[in-house]
Amino acid sequence: MGRLETHELVIDVPGRADGAALTLAVEPGQVWGVLGPNGAGKTTLLHTLAGLRAPRSGEIRVDGRLLASLGRREVARRLGLVFQERHDGFPATVRETALIGRHPWLSPWQMEGADDLRLAEAALARLDVAHLADRLVSTLSGGERQRLAIATVLTQAPRLWLADEPTNHLDLHHQSAVMDLLAEQAAEGGSVLMCLHDLNLAARWCDHLLLLYPDGEACWGAAETMLVPSALERLYGQRLATAWVDGAPVFVPAR
């Protein structure tokens, strides 16, 4: 459970020639980070993996089955996506929004039950937004909304997490808390693939990395093999200075 594979996957970035074909496997227990500068296609990749966008070619398999052959609900039960951008729809409370995460598990005629409510409340508490349960989403700060989005996916309880810049808008304390949560998901047998723009978070928390270059090129593999200064400098077009803290590398833009 929680296994995601791609085979010769070429994502569709409008206006750009075909990029590299990605053949990788996200195994249960792994935490993958996707790194790249703005416009490299990280969000496009995530949406493609979630089945929201069609790739130009190649196939995606979730738990061994072709993504295209699974129904939307089936996909939603296995795979959850934390979006980077959020639309303000019609007004709703925080609790209602988190509860939406149970949708893939309920048949159309079922109402949300006590168990569902419990899951939602637990998720809200875990993300430290339980005290806002009755507030309207539109009144929340950016950081609170980000945590609510993650709580919604936690309520959805998929084995496979796709997260698009999950630490956006979060202060240091909550950043660590969220990364802890994701690591925990992986440790319990799920898997995580997240886009990060913070190189150092990736270095600290991810055991595998996928580097997406703006021209479409890509390389992936175990974190140690990817965290090579020359590769990273080419990725970001920025000279980096490396330091070591707690046995993990830290990269800082060089003057």
Partner 1 sequence: MAGAEPLRTPLSGLGWALPLGLLVLASLLALGLALAMGSVGVGLDELWSVVRGEGNALSRTLILELRLPRALSAFAVGGLLAVAGALMQVLLRNPLADPYVLGLSGGAAVGALAAMLAGLGGALMTGSAFAGAFLSTLLVFGLAHGTGSWTPSRLLLTGVVVAAGWGAVITLMLAVSPVERLPGMLYWLMGDLAHAGAPGAPLALLLVACLVALPLGRNLNVLARGPLQAAALGVAVRPLEWGIYLMASALTAMAVTTAGSIGFVGLVVPHMLRLVLGNDQRLILPACALAGGTLLVLADTLARTAIAPEQLPVGVITALLGVPTFLYLLYRSR
| 69 part of the interface to partner 1, by CB under 8 A | no
Contacts with partner 1: how many residues (CB under 8 A)?
39
**Residue 77, token pair as written in the block:** 């039960």
| 84 part of the interface to partner 1, by CB under 8 A | no
| 14 part of the interface to partner 1, by CB under 8 A | no
| 86 part of the interface to partner 1, by CB under 8 A | yes
In the chain, helix, strand, coil percent, each to 5? 40, 25, 35
Which residues in the 32-61 window bind partner 1 by CB under 8 A? 47, 50-52
Residue with tokens 């729809």: 89
* Among 18, 56, 57, 73, interactor with partner 1 by CB under 8 A: 73
Smallest gap, in angstroms, from Cβ of residue 89 to partner 1?
A: 4
Cβ-based nearer residue to partner 1, 110 or 238? 110
Smallest gap, in angstroms, from Cβ of residue 116 to partner 1?
A: 8
Cβ-based nearer residue to partner 1, 73 or 234? 73
Distance of CA 112 to the CA centre of its chain: 26
Between 142-156 and 172-187, two packed helices, what is the crossing angle to 10 degrees?
A: 10
DSSP for 34-83 reads EE--TTSSHHHHHHHHTTSS--SEEEEEETTEEGGGS-HHHHHHHEEEE-
| 175 part of the interface to partner 1, by CB under 8 A | no
Positions in the binding site for partner 1 (CB under 8 A): 47, 50-52, 72-77, 80-81, 83, 86-87, 89-93, 95-97, 99-101, 103-104, 106, 108-109, 111-114, 117, 134, 136, 156
